[in-house]
Chain A
């Protein structure tokens, strides 16, 4: 196993056969960071010196997640893991690029005139953003999208220009590739429109086939982007003040463009290498061999500036692999570089698209198996060898859940009929823990399944977290973590290590086991529970879990003296914390029905307190920006008007979504709205291992989207069908049929038993979808237990739910009636009348949001802040 792909640096002793002496790295990007980190890690005692010289002012940052700049508050969101710069042997100098290399003298000269000598030189100069020679690319308001400086300038321009023009900007992106789409999404986040112009006939034309490109166009258009394919930008026109204003297209049309981003590809930055006489590839880039040496034996090149076999890469994973090779070679090893298959995943745009391998089925005899679902807006394709056994590539749009599990299988037998993977549900199980050792699990950090296993068996790692730290697997993009977890756990098990299913360091058993003990012993407080069955004083994992158990066993109000200290802040103040530390307020609106009078009250309260209002996905109204000290006054008004807590903050029932049903609808066959109200009032406040949602549809048209809920009820001519285990969110799943044609009371009984059984036996923060999927004996057994009462626990489950219903009280009403509980709702214990002075708001579309750096107008008073936006 001499190949670097299959070996982790920590698997072998540190090499000290050769000292690389003075190592100089030109370029301070992600690959330089990785190289420095690897050198420090692999040679903790070596007597070398490493100097990294960069052009940008910032220390190396996570360029892959550049678009996160617009969702985080600042550049800190882009920090890379590891700090090699703290090692005294390592020096990082930013803001002073290398201008020339003198290979004879073995020195480089920087822009500031500084001369640095080297024994080994590593070129890691990366790429530059290429823009076509379109007329007007030099106008103010035209940007590229590659560096932190680019995105900062883009943000500042949009803010300034929006103010100058007094209206939202028209944004345009030239280039419909991965980065172009990220840039378009970033423009939308900045409040501009986004036209995407792509010269090819589809978006992401390098990574997606026709079908995938079309599916992506539909999804992206749904995000409000104006997609123009098969056309190019021919000319940018200026406004009277000289800034860009229009973009002419090759199809003869013209679009408004107050801000333009070019994302038309990158080119290797090879000027310094070229001028120093190193061999340069035909299509640019410094020519390197498998050792990553250039034509000068003391000069190496890694990452996007290196041309290997005539190709330059545009991704970070191969660059990191090259850096690993160079570090190994510098330390006297003999690792060589072998390109791994690239895969690409779209990030941060709001739609999913990914592909890997032979996307266009160019391999002779290759077969394509595809599944397109225009209703669910998904497109999935596998490319397999002519015997349909070996996986050659894949394209996934709309649902990329198969991407991370199938990509490691590239070039290997699939083990099942390819169509089985693509079927909408069920299907063949994704590959799991039994992957061959040489399969790369994490391609960002080049970690194979064998390395992961060795981290457990040879280096004593006992958790996914330790394996991540030891191997760096899963630390870059994170998409392999589910697979990584499976491999780590199965290796631990087969190594005879008991896989800990302890909740945390304080409780050695899983939630269901502890819950059974709590119920058996009738424990009522955390202290009783931890003294009987645990150690220490708990943590953020076990305390809320125990609080939920105590609540499910009706041990009293969640803010009773000792319970209060167990709750997450959301449960503690009965509201949902937002990013600035204020809270959202979401009263219950059972079944989505609300009277005009109550709507008026919500409007009055929101206007008076300066809260931003939104209709939520659960058919209710959320009000954002309530300070902790305002919550009681707001809720006093709401409770007086007949509202109660919506538990939008709790691991409990959220809402029951319904359609209007038979009462009004021409097609309804049952009264879905009344059933939804009945169910919501029955299960309100019910604490559970995770939040759960319910939907009720009045006919098979399913307007309430009930099958996307934990419990879905759909009317039939004869009664109700009930489905369980559905989920939206991160891992969407349709609920599966549990029972058919139930009358009203029987329906309620079946749901009672399902929920009570789930609450008693699920793991901590396990939603119903995985609980149902992993139920021993499967759905058929769950049906026997819940519907047919095969274990004779029906009466007990019924009793649990009956007690919940009998004990229900509105948490907010109870809080308002208790001065002791209200004392917790203050800004400062010694200055209750002084609100948090750091809370500041900015206007957005007539409402407020938390202010952030760069906002032109803002005010501490949200009632004033929302009026500040006087322009259009």
Chain B
């Protein structure tokens, strides 16, 4: 967890919409939630194998901030990566990535 990659400025991210970023070898989906909290999960949709999760719809389920896959509509908790709705398949969780937004608004992702 020593390497942090600056991927963008927080203002580059639309609220409740994702952006894809390259962090080393990893494709990462970065999301700006309400209140400017920024989180990141793997970009690869485990159900389809396509690198599309940054293009899913951000929402909420109770207190959890959620992401719905744009491919087959599975839903995950964006903060933990836990699969909340596997849409009839075996649940597959997402890898999450640490994110910090520094005082200048730079979004830095661990990994």
Question: Chain A interface (Cβ within 8 Å of chain B)?
Answer: 73, 79, 81, 83, 475, 505-506, 536-540, 542-544, 561-562, 564-570, 572-573, 577, 579-581, 628, 823-824, 826-831, 834, 836, 838
Decide if B58 is an interface residue (CB 8 Å cutoff). Answer: yes
Interface size, chain B (Cβ < 8 Å): 42
Q: Are B55 and A573 in contact (CB under 8 A)?
A: yes
Nearest-neighbor residue (CB-CB) of B65 within chain A:
A537
Contact residues, B35-77 vs A (CB, 8 A): 44-45, 48-52, 55-62, 65-66, 68, 70-71, 73, 75
Q: Are A836 and B59 in contact (CB under 8 A)?
A: no
Q: Which residues of A contact B7 (CB under 8 A)?
A: 829-830
Decide if B79 is an interface residue (CB 8 Å cutoff). Answer: no
11 contacting pairs across A/B (C-beta < 8 A): A83-B90, A475-B88, A506-B59, A538-B59, A561-B14, A564-B14, A565-B16, A565-B57, A573-B55, A581-B52, A826-B19
Contacts A569-B55, A834-B22; A539 near B90 (Cβ below 8 A): no
Q: How far is the CA of A73 from the CA of B68 in the complex (A)?
A: 22
Q: Which residues of A contact B6 (CB under 8 A)?
A: 830
Q: Are B70 and A539 in contact (CB under 8 A)?
A: no
Q: How far is the CA of A849 from the CA of B65 in the complex (A)?
A: 35
What 6 pairs between A and B have smallest CB-CB spacing? A540-B68, A539-B59, A581-B50, A569-B70, A536-B60, A537-B60
Nearest-neighbor residue (CB-CB) of A526 within chain B:
B16
Contact residues, B1-54 vs A (CB, 8 A): 5-8, 12-17, 19-22, 27, 30, 34, 44-45, 48-52
Q: Which residues of A contact B15 (CB under 8 A)?
A: 562, 565
Q: Are B21 and A828 in contact (CB under 8 A)?
A: yes
Q: Are A565 and B58 in contact (CB under 8 A)?
A: yes
Q: How far is the CA of A505 from the CA of B71 in the complex (A)?
A: 21
Q: How far is the CA of A538 from the CA of B15 in the complex (A)?
A: 13
Q: How far is the CA of A750 from the CA of B8 in the complex (A)?
A: 52
Q: How far is the CA of A577 from the CA of B71 in the complex (A)?
A: 8
Question: Chain B interface (Cβ within 8 Å of chain A)?
Answer: 5-8, 12-17, 19-22, 27, 30, 34, 44-45, 48-52, 55-62, 65-66, 68, 70-71, 73, 75, 88-90
Q: How far is the CA of A581 from the CA of B60 in the complex (A)?
A: 24
Q: Are A540 and B5 in contact (CB under 8 A)?
A: no
A827 to chain B, nearest CB (A): 7
Q: Which residues of B contact A569 (CB under 8 A)?
A: 52, 55-56, 70
Q: How far is the CA of A834 from the CA of B30 in the complex (A)?
A: 17
Q: Which residues of B contact A581 (CB under 8 A)?
A: 45, 48, 50-52, 71
Nearest-neighbor residue (CB-CB) of A580 within chain B:
B50
Contacts A564-B14, A565-B58; A830 near B34 (Cβ below 8 A): no
Q: Which residues of B contact A580 (CB under 8 A)?
A: 50
Q: How far is the CA of A838 from the CA of B52 in the complex (A)?
A: 11
Q: Are A577 and B52 in contact (CB under 8 A)?
A: yes
Q: How far is the CA of A577 from the CA of B20 in the complex (A)?
A: 16
Q: Which residues of A contact B14 (CB under 8 A)?
A: 561, 564-565, 824
A278 to chain B, nearest CB (A): 36
Contacting B61 at CB < 8 Å: which of A79, A505, A543?
A505
Q: How far is the CA of A475 from the CA of B12 in the complex (A)?
A: 43
Q: Are B17 and A830 in contact (CB under 8 A)?
A: no
Contacting A537 at CB < 8 Å: which of B58, B89, B90?
B58
Q: How far is the CA of A536 from the CA of B61 in the complex (A)?
A: 7
Q: Which residues of B contact A505 (CB under 8 A)?
A: 61-62
B27 to chain A, nearest CB (A): 7
Q: Which residues of B contact A538 (CB under 8 A)?
A: 57, 59-60
Q: How far is the CA of A766 from the CA of B88 in the complex (A)?
A: 22
Q: Are B8 and A539 in contact (CB under 8 A)?
A: no
Identify 18 new A-B residue pairs, CB closer than 8 A, beyond the known A565-B57, A581-B52. A79-B89, A537-B34, A537-B65, A538-B59, A539-B59, A539-B75, A540-B57, A540-B75, A544-B57, A565-B17, A572-B55, A580-B50, A581-B51, A828-B22, A829-B21, A830-B21, A830-B22, A831-B22
Nearest-neighbor residue (CB-CB) of B17 within chain A:
A565
Q: How far is the CA of A566 from the CA of B16 in the complex (A)?
A: 9
Q: Are A537 and B52 in contact (CB under 8 A)?
A: no
Q: Are A829 and B19 in contact (CB under 8 A)?
A: yes
Contacts A539-B59, A579-B50; A829 near B70 (Cβ below 8 A): no
A557 to chain B, nearest CB (A): 14
Q: How far is the CA of A830 from the CA of B13 in the complex (A)?
A: 12
Q: Which residues of B contact A836 (CB under 8 A)?
A: 27, 51
Q: How far is the CA of A810 from the CA of B86 in the complex (A)?
A: 37
Q: Which residues of B contact A628 (CB under 8 A)?
A: 55
Q: Are A537 and B57 in contact (CB under 8 A)?
A: no
Q: How far is the CA of A830 from the CA of B15 in the complex (A)?
A: 18
Nearest-neighbor residue (CB-CB) of A73 within chain B:
B49
Nearest-neighbor residue (CB-CB) of A837 within chain B:
B27
Contacting A838 at CB < 8 Å: which of B34, B51, B59, B62?
B51
Nearest-neighbor residue (CB-CB) of A561 within chain B:
B14
Q: Are B8 and A536 in contact (CB under 8 A)?
A: no
Q: Which residues of B contact A475 (CB under 8 A)?
A: 88
Q: Indicate the member of B12, B30, B58, B89 with the most A CB atoms within 10 Å.
A: B58
Contacts A540-B68, A543-B57, A544-B57; A830 near B8 (Cβ below 8 A): yes
Q: How far is the CA of A536 from the CA of B34 in the complex (A)?
A: 11
Q: Are A537 and B70 in contact (CB under 8 A)?
A: no
Contacting A829 at CB < 8 Å: which of B30, B88, B90?
B30
Q: How far is the CA of A628 from the CA of B70 in the complex (A)?
A: 14
Nearest-neighbor residue (CB-CB) of A827 within chain B:
B20
Q: How far is the CA of A566 from the CA of B17 in the complex (A)?
A: 9
Q: How far is the CA of A79 from the CA of B88 in the complex (A)?
A: 11
Q: Which residues of B contact A81 (CB under 8 A)?
A: 88, 90
Q: How far is the CA of A537 from the CA of B17 in the complex (A)?
A: 12
Q: Which residues of B contact A537 (CB under 8 A)?
A: 16, 34, 58-60, 65
Nearest-neighbor residue (CB-CB) of A83 within chain B:
B90
A743 to chain B, nearest CB (A): 45
A36 to chain B, nearest CB (A): 16
Q: Are B51 and A536 in contact (CB under 8 A)?
A: no
Q: Which residues of A contact B73 (CB under 8 A)?
A: 540
B29 to chain A, nearest CB (A): 10
Contacts A564-B17, A579-B50, A836-B51; A540 near B59 (Cβ below 8 A): yes
Q: How far is the CA of A83 from the CA of B57 in the complex (A)?
A: 29
Q: How far is the CA of A538 from the CA of B62 in the complex (A)?
A: 10
Q: Which residues of B contact A830 (CB under 8 A)?
A: 5-8, 21-22
A55 to chain B, nearest CB (A): 23
Nearest-neighbor residue (CB-CB) of B19 within chain A:
A829
B37 to chain A, nearest CB (A): 12
Q: Which residues of A contact B55 (CB under 8 A)?
A: 569, 572-573, 577, 628
A225 to chain B, nearest CB (A): 30
